[in-house]
Amino acid sequence: MTSQDFPGKGRVAILRTTPQTVLDDYERLMHLADYQKVLSSELDTLLKINISWQIWYPGCSTTPWQLEGVIRTLLNDGFDKERVLATHNRTVVVDAREGEVNNRQKFVADRYGLPEFHIYEPQVEWTVYEPKEPFLVLDQIYRDGVRIPKDFIGKNIIHLPQTKTHVFTTMTGSMKNAFGGLLNERRHWTHSVIHETLVDLLTIQQDIHPGIFAVMDGTFAGDGPGPRAMRPHVKNVILASSDQVALDATAAKLMGFDPLSLPFIRLAHEKGLGVGDPREIEIVGDEDAAEQNWHFSGAENTFASRGQKMIYHGAMKPLEHFLLRTPLVPWSYAASNFYHNVYWYPFIGRPRVEWALQTEWGELLRTYGQGPVNPGYGSKLPFFALTSGVAAAGLAMLWKLTQSIRK
């Protein structure tokens, strides 16, 4: 595959779907997007699953029906299940082993007997990638070389993103799905230049993968400060393409954004890595579905992301290296987990999950495995316990201070 020409460049398939027809719809979608012209069944194929949170939240991570629809299509078309790998990466704040269970992805992979590939396990070898053309930013960030998983080289890859917004890139889709796979756990170093990073990653992908394809789920879609703290919506669409730039541009347009106003799409378009101008994209399938405008917001932040942006782009920029590239860095992981898991989900996210579970898609989710959704999460007691403890410690320190002053 070259950056200038590949099968399906500028072509995006989109379909409306329902919980009753979604598996068949995924098969039809992939054929509309001519995936077999891009992916050879003679090669190993990585299914790059997205887990943005270790708990299930609508519109956040790869859905089980999305994963099953893709697996079923591949197997029906002659792909060997032993050569289709359910591929996961963890993050510094998300446990992929727990996430694949809570998001019902492991249930699907086990149902079809797929091998799993967790790329951050100790036995996985990482190798320095030698670029064929100059990077935009990665070589400036990783002075000792850009390391990628050696086992990615020479394999097909299918990305499984969602239609959702993102606090750093406005929207996130197939291009950003490579962020967790190709870069190691120091990838947060790139957040201040995230748009250029995604373009560099797409350049790497088009060099190391014989075939690239992406299947995007929009049954639930996320609006607001994604990729976790979102307002979920039922949108009932699915999309696919071998052109990651065109797919992300089409999803961005659906959400109500001008694709070329998003730097990562514009830069990739200008470099010829795909088609980012909606006027040049061929839509197949339910063409009128691509004309929707969901009027999503791309400018919202959480308390946590405001702090991150102050470090990456604001008043705390001079402290970025000190705060995020030294032994002090675990403070940021702890802060993110406290905010999202202890505060945000029990007080704000859980009611949204309960709403989503009452929809037809929520009912479908329950058919993938048994047991409660997000066991161990949702209680408000840890938040009250922690905040009470901090308050008590503060009062104790204040009392000691006043006592010492009186003396």
Range in 18-32, 174-188, 261-275, 390-404 with the lowest mean pLDDT? 390-404
Mean pLDDT of 77-106: 93
The arithmetic mean of pLDDT across residues 181-206, rounded, is: 88
pLDDT at 403: 62
Alpha-carbon distance 369 to 378, whole Å? Answer: 20
- State the number of CA atoms in the 13 A half-sphere of 130 facing the CB: 0
For residue 124, pLDDT over 80 is answered with yes
CB pairs under 8 A, 24+ apart, for 353-361? 353/56, 353/57, 353/58, 355/232, 356/58, 356/220, 356/232, 359/234, 360/18, 360/19, 361/19, 361/58, 361/219, 361/220, 361/234
What residue has token string 């347009």? Answer: 253
The residue whose two tokens read 């009470």 is 388
Q: Using 50, 70 and 90 to split pLDDT, how confident is the model at 181?
A: confident
Q: Whole-model pTM above 0.75? A: yes
pLDDT at 221 over 70: yes
Kindly give the interhelix angle for 244-255 and 263-270, rounded to the nearest 10 degrees.
150
- Rounded to 5°, angle at Cα 214 from 87 and 155: 50
Q: Per-residue confidence at 348, pLDDT binned at 50, 70, 90?
A: very high
Domains observed in the chain: 11-303 (3.40.50)
* pLDDT averaged over every residue in the chain: 90
What mean pLDDT do residues 186-193 have?
A: 78
Q: Report the range out of 72-81, 140-149, 163-172, 185-194 with the highest average pLDDT.
A: 72-81
Q: What is the pLDDT of residues 16-39, one digit of tens each?
A: 999 999 999 999 999 999 999 999
- Say what the pLDDT of residue 19 is: 98
pLDDT greater at residue 315 or residue 108: 108
- Whether 338 shows a pLDDT value over 90: the answer reads no
Q: What is the mean pLDDT of residues 54-72?
A: 98
pLDDT of residue 362: 98
Sorting pLDDT into bands at 50, 70 and 90, what band is 182? confident
Is 317 a residue whose pLDDT tops 90?
Answer: no
For residue 314, what pLDDT is reported?
73
One-letter amino acid identity for 278?
Answer: P
pLDDT at 298: 75
Average pLDDT over residues 199-213: 97
- Is the pLDDT confidence value at 13 over 70? yes
